[in-house]
Structure 1
Protein backbone atom coordinates (compact mmCIF):
# COMPACT_ATOMS: atom_id res chain seq x y z
CA UNK A 1 0.00 0.00 0.00
CA UNK A 2 1.08 3.58 -0.67
CA UNK A 3 2.33 5.34 2.46
CA UNK A 4 -0.49 7.27 4.11
CA UNK A 5 0.24 8.55 7.64
CA UNK A 6 -2.14 9.51 10.43
CA UNK A 7 -1.35 11.29 13.69
CA UNK A 8 -3.27 10.35 16.86
CA UNK A 9 -2.97 12.76 19.79
CA UNK A 10 -4.07 10.91 22.91
CA UNK A 11 -5.94 12.59 25.78
CA UNK A 12 -4.18 15.97 26.02
CA UNK A 13 -6.85 17.15 28.45
CA UNK A 14 -7.04 19.49 31.41
CA UNK A 15 -7.46 16.73 33.99
CA UNK A 16 -4.23 15.08 32.84
CA UNK A 17 -2.17 18.26 33.12
CA UNK A 18 -0.82 20.62 35.78
CA UNK A 19 -1.61 22.88 37.46
CA UNK A 20 -5.18 21.86 38.28
CA UNK A 21 -5.72 18.44 36.70
CA UNK A 22 -7.34 15.80 38.90
CA UNK A 23 -4.94 13.19 37.47
CA UNK A 24 -2.13 15.51 36.41
CA UNK A 25 0.86 13.92 34.68
CA UNK A 26 4.12 15.69 35.51
CA UNK A 27 5.18 17.77 32.50
CA UNK A 28 1.90 17.08 30.71
CA UNK A 29 1.59 20.58 29.30
CA UNK A 30 5.23 20.68 28.24
CA UNK A 31 4.62 18.36 25.27
CA UNK A 32 2.10 20.65 23.57
CA UNK A 33 4.64 22.67 21.50
CA UNK A 34 6.06 19.44 20.08
CA UNK A 35 2.57 18.10 19.37
CA UNK A 36 1.61 21.36 17.65
CA UNK A 37 4.78 21.13 15.56
CA UNK A 38 3.76 17.61 14.53
CA UNK A 39 0.20 18.76 13.81
CA UNK A 40 1.65 21.25 11.32
CA UNK A 41 3.03 18.39 9.23
CA UNK A 42 1.09 17.05 6.23
CA UNK A 43 -0.40 13.95 7.84
CA UNK A 44 -3.27 12.58 5.79
CA UNK A 45 -5.41 12.46 8.93
CA UNK A 46 -5.05 14.09 12.35
CA UNK A 47 -7.11 12.81 15.27
CA UNK A 48 -7.34 13.88 18.89
CA UNK A 49 -8.82 11.53 21.49
CA UNK A 50 -10.58 12.36 24.74
CA UNK A 51 -11.27 10.39 27.88
CA UNK A 52 -14.98 11.11 28.32
CA UNK A 53 -16.29 9.35 31.40
CA UNK A 54 -19.69 9.27 33.09
CA UNK A 55 -19.50 10.26 36.75
CA UNK A 56 -20.25 6.70 37.90
CA UNK A 57 -17.37 5.17 35.94
CA UNK A 58 -15.87 1.96 37.34
CA UNK A 59 -12.31 3.37 37.32
CA UNK A 60 -13.12 6.07 39.88
CA UNK A 61 -12.02 5.13 43.38
CA UNK A 62 -14.95 6.99 44.94
CA UNK A 63 -17.36 4.55 43.28
CA UNK A 64 -15.98 1.64 45.36
CA UNK A 65 -16.25 0.75 49.02
CA UNK A 66 -13.50 1.30 51.56
CA UNK A 67 -10.88 0.17 52.19
CA UNK A 68 -10.22 -0.79 48.58
CA UNK A 69 -10.93 2.66 47.16
CA UNK A 70 -7.72 4.64 47.37
CA UNK A 71 -6.87 6.58 44.21
CA UNK A 72 -3.54 5.56 42.63
CA UNK A 73 -3.13 2.72 45.15
CA UNK A 74 -6.10 0.36 45.09
CA UNK A 75 -6.43 -2.36 42.45
CA UNK A 76 -9.71 -3.98 41.48
CA UNK A 77 -10.75 -6.87 39.27
CA UNK A 78 -13.25 -5.95 36.57
CA UNK A 79 -15.32 -8.73 35.04
CA UNK A 80 -16.32 -8.55 31.43
CA UNK A 81 -20.03 -7.64 31.76
CA UNK A 82 -20.74 -9.86 28.75
CA UNK A 83 -18.60 -12.79 29.94
CA UNK A 84 -17.81 -13.06 33.64
CA UNK A 85 -15.05 -15.60 32.97
CA UNK A 86 -12.91 -12.85 31.43
CA UNK A 87 -11.41 -10.41 33.92
CA UNK A 88 -9.06 -7.45 34.03
CA UNK A 89 -6.97 -6.17 36.93
CA UNK A 90 -6.80 -2.39 37.01
CA UNK A 91 -5.80 0.57 39.17
CA UNK A 92 -8.35 2.99 40.60
CA UNK A 93 -8.09 6.70 39.86
CA UNK A 94 -9.43 10.03 41.09
CA UNK A 95 -12.54 11.32 39.32
CA UNK A 96 -11.29 12.68 36.00
CA UNK A 97 -12.40 13.72 32.51
CA UNK A 98 -16.09 13.63 33.39
CA UNK A 99 -18.39 14.49 30.50
CA UNK A 100 -19.39 18.14 30.54
CA UNK A 101 -16.64 19.30 32.91
CA UNK A 102 -13.65 21.53 32.24
CA UNK A 103 -11.35 18.63 33.14
CA UNK A 104 -12.51 16.75 30.05
CA UNK A 105 -11.62 19.60 27.69
CA UNK A 106 -8.59 19.48 25.41
CA UNK A 107 -5.92 21.99 26.37
CA UNK A 108 -6.60 25.43 24.87
CA UNK A 109 -2.99 25.72 23.70
CA UNK A 110 -3.36 22.55 21.60
CA UNK A 111 -3.84 23.56 17.95
CA UNK A 112 -7.24 21.97 17.45
CA UNK A 113 -7.71 23.91 14.21
CA UNK A 114 -5.42 21.34 12.57
CA UNK A 115 -7.32 18.31 13.96
CA UNK A 116 -9.66 16.55 11.55
CA UNK A 117 -11.60 14.45 14.03
CA UNK A 118 -12.07 14.05 17.79
CA UNK A 119 -12.66 10.53 19.12
CA UNK A 120 -14.20 10.09 22.58
CA UNK A 121 -13.55 7.01 24.72
CA UNK A 122 -14.27 5.58 28.15
CA UNK A 123 -17.99 6.27 28.03
CA UNK A 124 -19.15 2.82 29.17
CA UNK A 125 -19.20 2.97 32.97
CA UNK A 126 -18.69 -0.81 33.27
CA UNK A 127 -15.19 -1.09 31.77
CA UNK A 128 -11.81 0.62 31.78
CA UNK A 129 -10.72 1.85 28.35
CA UNK A 130 -7.17 3.14 28.13
CA UNK A 131 -6.88 2.47 24.41
CA UNK A 132 -8.56 4.88 22.03
CA UNK A 133 -9.66 1.84 20.02
CA UNK A 134 -11.45 -0.41 22.54
CA UNK A 135 -11.57 -1.77 26.06
CA UNK A 136 -9.15 -4.64 26.81
CA UNK A 137 -11.75 -7.40 26.77
CA UNK A 138 -11.73 -9.63 23.72
CA UNK A 139 -14.35 -12.31 24.35
CA UNK A 140 -16.26 -10.21 23.47
CA UNK A 141 -15.10 -6.58 23.39
CA UNK A 142 -17.60 -4.44 25.30
CA UNK A 143 -16.89 -0.89 24.14
CA UNK A 144 -15.28 0.11 20.87
CA UNK A 145 -14.74 3.58 19.44
CA UNK A 146 -14.89 4.39 15.74
CA UNK A 147 -11.12 5.06 15.55
CA UNK A 148 -10.22 1.85 13.72
CA UNK A 149 -12.97 2.40 11.16
CA UNK A 150 -11.88 6.01 10.57
CA UNK A 151 -8.28 4.95 9.96
CA UNK A 152 -9.09 1.93 7.79
CA UNK A 153 -11.70 3.80 5.75
CA UNK A 154 -9.11 6.52 5.05
CA UNK A 155 -6.60 3.96 3.81
CA UNK A 156 -4.07 4.83 6.49
CA UNK A 157 -0.90 2.70 6.56
CA UNK A 158 1.10 4.29 9.39
CA UNK A 159 -0.14 5.60 12.74
CA UNK A 160 1.97 8.04 14.74
CA UNK A 161 0.99 8.37 18.41
CA UNK A 162 1.71 11.05 21.02
CA UNK A 163 0.03 12.42 24.14
CA UNK A 164 -0.86 11.27 27.66
CA UNK A 165 -0.02 9.16 29.40
CA UNK A 166 2.91 7.22 27.96
CA UNK A 167 2.46 4.23 30.26
CA UNK A 168 -1.33 3.95 29.98
CA UNK A 169 -3.47 5.41 27.20
CA UNK A 170 -0.64 6.11 24.77
CA UNK A 171 0.77 2.62 25.26
CA UNK A 172 -2.56 0.85 24.85
CA UNK A 173 -3.52 2.96 21.83
CA UNK A 174 -0.20 2.25 20.13
CA UNK A 175 -0.39 -1.48 20.81
CA UNK A 176 -3.95 -1.63 19.48
CA UNK A 177 -2.94 0.34 16.39
CA UNK A 178 -0.35 -2.33 15.70
CA UNK A 179 -2.91 -5.09 16.31
CA UNK A 180 -5.17 -3.35 13.79
CA UNK A 181 -2.42 -3.81 11.22
CA UNK A 182 -0.94 -0.31 11.09
CA UNK A 183 2.78 0.39 11.12
CA UNK A 184 2.96 2.21 14.45
CA UNK A 185 5.30 4.90 15.71
CA UNK A 186 5.31 6.54 19.16
CA UNK A 187 6.90 10.00 19.28
CA UNK A 188 8.59 9.61 22.65
CA UNK A 189 9.41 13.27 23.31
CA UNK A 190 5.73 14.13 22.74
CA UNK A 191 4.57 11.91 25.63
CA UNK A 192 4.83 11.95 29.42
CA UNK A 193 4.26 9.06 31.85
CA UNK A 194 2.35 8.69 35.10
CA UNK A 195 5.23 6.50 36.33
CA UNK A 196 8.38 7.22 34.31
CA UNK A 197 10.14 4.28 35.95
CA UNK A 198 7.71 1.99 34.10
CA UNK A 199 8.84 3.15 30.65
CA UNK A 200 11.51 0.45 30.16
CA UNK A 201 8.76 -2.14 30.55
CA UNK A 202 6.55 -0.22 28.13
CA UNK A 203 9.38 -0.17 25.60
CA UNK A 204 9.81 -3.92 25.94
CA UNK A 205 6.10 -4.36 25.16
CA UNK A 206 6.54 -2.15 22.11
CA UNK A 207 9.54 -4.09 20.90
CA UNK A 208 7.66 -7.37 21.24
CA UNK A 209 4.63 -6.00 19.38
CA UNK A 210 6.60 -4.24 16.63
CA UNK A 211 5.88 -0.65 17.73
CA UNK A 212 8.78 1.77 17.22
CA UNK A 213 9.58 4.71 19.53
CA UNK A 214 11.05 7.68 17.67
CA UNK A 215 11.92 11.34 18.12
CA UNK A 216 10.74 14.19 15.92
CA UNK A 217 13.94 14.12 13.87
CA UNK A 218 13.60 10.43 12.97
CA UNK A 219 13.47 9.41 9.32
CA UNK A 220 9.86 8.29 9.84
CA UNK A 221 8.95 11.93 10.60
CA UNK A 222 10.96 13.15 7.61
CA UNK A 223 8.88 10.78 5.50
CA UNK A 224 5.72 12.55 6.71
CA UNK A 225 7.25 15.93 5.82
CA UNK A 226 7.71 14.63 2.27
CA UNK A 227 4.17 13.23 2.09
CA UNK A 228 1.81 14.90 -0.34
Structure 2
Protein backbone atom coordinates (compact mmCIF):
# COMPACT_ATOMS: atom_id res chain seq x y z
CA UNK A 1 0.00 0.00 0.00
CA UNK A 2 1.15 3.57 -0.64
CA UNK A 3 2.28 5.61 2.37
CA UNK A 4 -0.85 7.05 3.98
CA UNK A 5 -0.03 8.71 7.34
CA UNK A 6 -2.40 9.80 10.11
CA UNK A 7 -1.74 12.16 13.02
CA UNK A 8 -3.19 11.08 16.37
CA UNK A 9 -3.33 13.83 19.02
CA UNK A 10 -3.97 12.23 22.40
CA UNK A 11 -5.89 14.05 25.16
CA UNK A 12 -4.54 17.59 24.84
CA UNK A 13 -7.19 18.77 27.30
CA UNK A 14 -7.45 21.45 29.98
CA UNK A 15 -7.44 19.00 32.90
CA UNK A 16 -4.07 17.59 31.83
CA UNK A 17 -2.44 21.02 31.61
CA UNK A 18 -1.22 23.77 33.94
CA UNK A 19 -2.20 26.11 35.41
CA UNK A 20 -5.63 24.82 36.43
CA UNK A 21 -5.81 21.18 35.32
CA UNK A 22 -7.03 18.66 37.87
CA UNK A 23 -4.39 16.20 36.64
CA UNK A 24 -1.90 18.67 35.23
CA UNK A 25 1.22 17.28 33.58
CA UNK A 26 4.32 19.45 34.06
CA UNK A 27 4.99 21.71 31.03
CA UNK A 28 2.17 20.05 29.09
CA UNK A 29 1.19 23.24 27.26
CA UNK A 30 4.73 23.57 25.89
CA UNK A 31 4.10 20.84 23.32
CA UNK A 32 1.17 22.62 21.63
CA UNK A 33 3.30 24.67 19.16
CA UNK A 34 4.97 21.44 18.01
CA UNK A 35 1.60 19.73 17.63
CA UNK A 36 0.27 22.70 15.65
CA UNK A 37 3.27 22.39 13.33
CA UNK A 38 2.28 18.77 12.75
CA UNK A 39 -1.33 19.79 12.14
CA UNK A 40 -0.06 21.98 9.29
CA UNK A 41 1.54 18.97 7.59
CA UNK A 42 -0.23 17.00 4.83
CA UNK A 43 -1.38 14.02 6.88
CA UNK A 44 -4.13 12.00 5.21
CA UNK A 45 -6.12 12.12 8.44
CA UNK A 46 -5.83 14.12 11.69
CA UNK A 47 -7.61 12.79 14.77
CA UNK A 48 -7.77 14.25 18.27
CA UNK A 49 -8.83 12.11 21.24
CA UNK A 50 -10.51 13.19 24.46
CA UNK A 51 -10.93 11.59 27.85
CA UNK A 52 -14.68 12.04 28.40
CA UNK A 53 -15.58 10.56 31.76
CA UNK A 54 -18.88 10.33 33.61
CA UNK A 55 -18.74 11.69 37.17
CA UNK A 56 -18.99 8.21 38.66
CA UNK A 57 -16.02 6.82 36.73
CA UNK A 58 -14.19 3.96 38.44
CA UNK A 59 -10.77 5.62 38.10
CA UNK A 60 -11.74 8.61 40.26
CA UNK A 61 -10.44 8.40 43.82
CA UNK A 62 -13.52 10.32 44.95
CA UNK A 63 -15.70 7.35 44.04
CA UNK A 64 -13.93 4.99 46.48
CA UNK A 65 -13.89 4.68 50.25
CA UNK A 66 -11.04 5.62 52.57
CA UNK A 67 -8.30 4.70 53.14
CA UNK A 68 -7.82 3.32 49.61
CA UNK A 69 -8.82 6.51 47.82
CA UNK A 70 -5.76 8.73 47.59
CA UNK A 71 -5.30 10.25 44.11
CA UNK A 72 -1.99 9.28 42.45
CA UNK A 73 -1.17 6.85 45.31
CA UNK A 74 -3.97 4.31 45.73
CA UNK A 75 -4.63 1.47 43.30
CA UNK A 76 -7.65 -0.76 42.85
CA UNK A 77 -8.34 -4.02 41.07
CA UNK A 78 -11.03 -3.78 38.42
CA UNK A 79 -12.89 -6.90 37.31
CA UNK A 80 -14.04 -7.32 33.74
CA UNK A 81 -17.82 -6.82 34.13
CA UNK A 82 -18.38 -9.61 31.58
CA UNK A 83 -15.73 -11.96 32.97
CA UNK A 84 -14.84 -11.54 36.68
CA UNK A 85 -11.81 -13.82 36.30
CA UNK A 86 -10.09 -11.15 34.16
CA UNK A 87 -8.79 -8.30 36.30
CA UNK A 88 -6.72 -5.14 35.95
CA UNK A 89 -4.89 -3.16 38.62
CA UNK A 90 -5.20 0.59 38.03
CA UNK A 91 -4.13 3.80 39.73
CA UNK A 92 -6.73 6.18 41.13
CA UNK A 93 -6.81 9.76 39.89
CA UNK A 94 -8.40 13.09 40.78
CA UNK A 95 -11.71 13.72 39.03
CA UNK A 96 -10.71 14.84 35.54
CA UNK A 97 -12.10 15.37 32.03
CA UNK A 98 -15.68 15.04 33.26
CA UNK A 99 -18.24 15.34 30.48
CA UNK A 100 -19.60 18.85 30.17
CA UNK A 101 -16.83 20.55 32.18
CA UNK A 102 -14.12 22.96 31.06
CA UNK A 103 -11.51 20.39 32.06
CA UNK A 104 -12.68 18.06 29.30
CA UNK A 105 -12.20 20.67 26.58
CA UNK A 106 -9.32 20.61 24.12
CA UNK A 107 -6.85 23.46 24.66
CA UNK A 108 -7.93 26.68 22.93
CA UNK A 109 -4.43 27.18 21.52
CA UNK A 110 -4.59 23.81 19.74
CA UNK A 111 -5.40 24.33 16.04
CA UNK A 112 -8.55 22.22 16.23
CA UNK A 113 -9.84 23.60 12.93
CA UNK A 114 -7.36 21.33 11.15
CA UNK A 115 -8.56 18.20 12.99
CA UNK A 116 -10.72 15.89 10.86
CA UNK A 117 -12.25 13.87 13.67
CA UNK A 118 -12.51 13.81 17.48
CA UNK A 119 -12.69 10.44 19.25
CA UNK A 120 -14.02 10.36 22.81
CA UNK A 121 -12.95 7.66 25.25
CA UNK A 122 -13.31 6.62 28.88
CA UNK A 123 -17.08 6.91 28.83
CA UNK A 124 -17.85 3.52 30.39
CA UNK A 125 -17.77 4.10 34.15
CA UNK A 126 -16.87 0.45 34.86
CA UNK A 127 -13.44 0.31 33.19
CA UNK A 128 -10.22 2.29 32.81
CA UNK A 129 -9.47 3.22 29.20
CA UNK A 130 -6.08 4.82 28.67
CA UNK A 131 -5.90 3.73 25.04
CA UNK A 132 -7.95 5.66 22.49
CA UNK A 133 -8.80 2.32 20.87
CA UNK A 134 -10.21 0.19 23.69
CA UNK A 135 -10.07 -0.75 27.34
CA UNK A 136 -7.39 -3.31 28.28
CA UNK A 137 -9.73 -6.26 28.80
CA UNK A 138 -9.53 -8.95 26.13
CA UNK A 139 -11.97 -11.69 27.20
CA UNK A 140 -14.09 -9.87 26.14
CA UNK A 141 -13.27 -6.20 25.45
CA UNK A 142 -15.78 -3.96 27.27
CA UNK A 143 -15.42 -0.51 25.69
CA UNK A 144 -14.21 0.22 22.17
CA UNK A 145 -13.98 3.52 20.29
CA UNK A 146 -14.50 4.22 16.59
CA UNK A 147 -10.80 4.85 16.01
CA UNK A 148 -9.77 1.61 14.29
CA UNK A 149 -12.66 1.87 11.85
CA UNK A 150 -11.87 5.52 11.05
CA UNK A 151 -8.20 4.76 10.34
CA UNK A 152 -9.00 1.74 8.19
CA UNK A 153 -11.65 3.59 6.17
CA UNK A 154 -8.97 6.16 5.32
CA UNK A 155 -6.54 3.38 4.27
CA UNK A 156 -4.03 4.60 6.85
CA UNK A 157 -0.68 2.80 6.87
CA UNK A 158 1.25 4.79 9.48
CA UNK A 159 0.12 6.49 12.70
CA UNK A 160 2.08 9.36 14.28
CA UNK A 161 1.22 9.84 17.96
CA UNK A 162 1.60 13.05 20.00
CA UNK A 163 -0.01 14.36 23.19
CA UNK A 164 -0.62 13.48 26.83
CA UNK A 165 0.45 11.75 28.85
CA UNK A 166 3.52 9.95 27.52
CA UNK A 167 3.49 7.25 30.19
CA UNK A 168 -0.25 6.52 30.12
CA UNK A 169 -2.69 7.38 27.32
CA UNK A 170 -0.02 8.03 24.69
CA UNK A 171 1.75 4.77 25.53
CA UNK A 172 -1.34 2.57 25.47
CA UNK A 173 -2.72 4.26 22.36
CA UNK A 174 0.56 3.81 20.48
CA UNK A 175 0.88 0.15 21.43
CA UNK A 176 -2.71 -0.55 20.41
CA UNK A 177 -2.20 1.27 17.10
CA UNK A 178 0.77 -0.97 16.34
CA UNK A 179 -1.18 -4.06 17.40
CA UNK A 180 -4.03 -3.03 15.09
CA UNK A 181 -1.60 -3.23 12.17
CA UNK A 182 -0.57 0.41 11.71
CA UNK A 183 3.14 1.24 11.70
CA UNK A 184 3.31 3.51 14.72
CA UNK A 185 5.66 6.41 15.43
CA UNK A 186 5.64 8.38 18.70
CA UNK A 187 7.00 11.94 18.43
CA UNK A 188 8.95 12.20 21.66
CA UNK A 189 9.27 16.01 21.50
CA UNK A 190 5.48 16.32 21.35
CA UNK A 191 4.66 14.37 24.51
CA UNK A 192 5.00 14.95 28.26
CA UNK A 193 4.86 12.36 31.04
CA UNK A 194 3.10 12.28 34.42
CA UNK A 195 6.23 10.60 35.77
CA UNK A 196 9.27 11.25 33.54
CA UNK A 197 11.32 8.73 35.52
CA UNK A 198 9.08 5.96 34.16
CA UNK A 199 9.97 6.59 30.53
CA UNK A 200 12.79 4.04 30.33
CA UNK A 201 10.20 1.38 31.04
CA UNK A 202 7.85 2.88 28.46
CA UNK A 203 10.59 2.75 25.81
CA UNK A 204 11.16 -0.94 26.58
CA UNK A 205 7.45 -1.62 26.11
CA UNK A 206 7.57 0.24 22.79
CA UNK A 207 10.53 -1.82 21.63
CA UNK A 208 8.73 -5.04 22.50
CA UNK A 209 5.56 -3.92 20.68
CA UNK A 210 7.35 -2.56 17.59
CA UNK A 211 6.53 1.11 18.20
CA UNK A 212 9.28 3.55 17.15
CA UNK A 213 10.05 6.80 19.02
CA UNK A 214 11.34 9.62 16.81
CA UNK A 215 12.04 13.35 17.02
CA UNK A 216 10.06 16.13 15.36
CA UNK A 217 12.79 16.61 12.72
CA UNK A 218 13.30 12.91 11.98
CA UNK A 219 13.47 11.66 8.40
CA UNK A 220 10.16 9.87 8.96
CA UNK A 221 8.54 13.26 9.63
CA UNK A 222 10.16 14.71 6.52
CA UNK A 223 8.49 11.90 4.61
CA UNK A 224 5.12 13.33 5.68
CA UNK A 225 6.14 16.87 4.72
CA UNK A 226 6.99 15.67 1.22
CA UNK A 227 3.58 14.11 0.55
CA UNK A 228 2.25 16.79 -1.85
CA UNK A 229 5.47 16.73 -3.90
CA UNK A 230 5.32 12.95 -4.16
CA UNK A 231 1.68 13.09 -5.18
CA UNK A 232 2.56 15.40 -8.07
CA UNK A 233 5.37 13.17 -9.21
* TM-score bin, normalised by smaller chain: over 0.9
Distance 2:72 2:153 in 1: 38
Q: Does 1:207 align with 2:207?
A: yes
Distance 2:54 2:193 in 1: 24
Aligned 1:9-158 pairs, distance under 5 A: 9-158=9-158
**5+ unaligned residues in a row in structure 1: which ranges?**
none
Number of residue pairs aligned between Structure 1 and Structure 2: 228
Distance 1:216 1:23 in 2: 26
Partner-residue secondary structure (3-state), 2:46: strand
Partner-residue secondary structure (3-state), 1:53: coil
The answer for the alignment partner of 1:190 in structure 2 is 190
Per-residue CA deviations over 1:147-183 (Å, capped at 9, x if unaligned) read 0000011100000000000000000000000000000
Partner-residue secondary structure (3-state), 1:32: helix
**Post-superposition offset of 1:80:** 0.3
Partner-residue secondary structure (3-state), 1:84: strand
Distance 1:180 1:227 in 2: 24
**Post-superposition offset of 1:197:** 0.2
The answer for the alignment partner of 1:179 in structure 2 is 179
Distance 1:208 1:60 in 2: 30
Distance 2:85 2:153 in 1: 34
Distance 2:166 2:12 in 1: 11
Partner-residue secondary structure (3-state), 1:118: strand
**Post-superposition offset of 1:187:** 0.2
Distance 2:127 2:227 in 1: 38
Partner-residue secondary structure (3-state), 1:67: coil
Runs of 4+ deviating beyond 3 Å: none
Question: Scaled by the length of structure 2, what TM-score is found?
Answer: 0.97
The answer for the alignment partner of 1:159 in structure 2 is 159
Distance 1:166 1:129 in 2: 15
Question: Scaled by the length of structure 1, what TM-score is found?
Answer: 1.00
Distance 1:103 1:149 in 2: 27
Distance 2:190 2:216 in 1: 8
**Post-superposition offset of 1:227:** 1.2
Partner-residue secondary structure (3-state), 1:87: strand
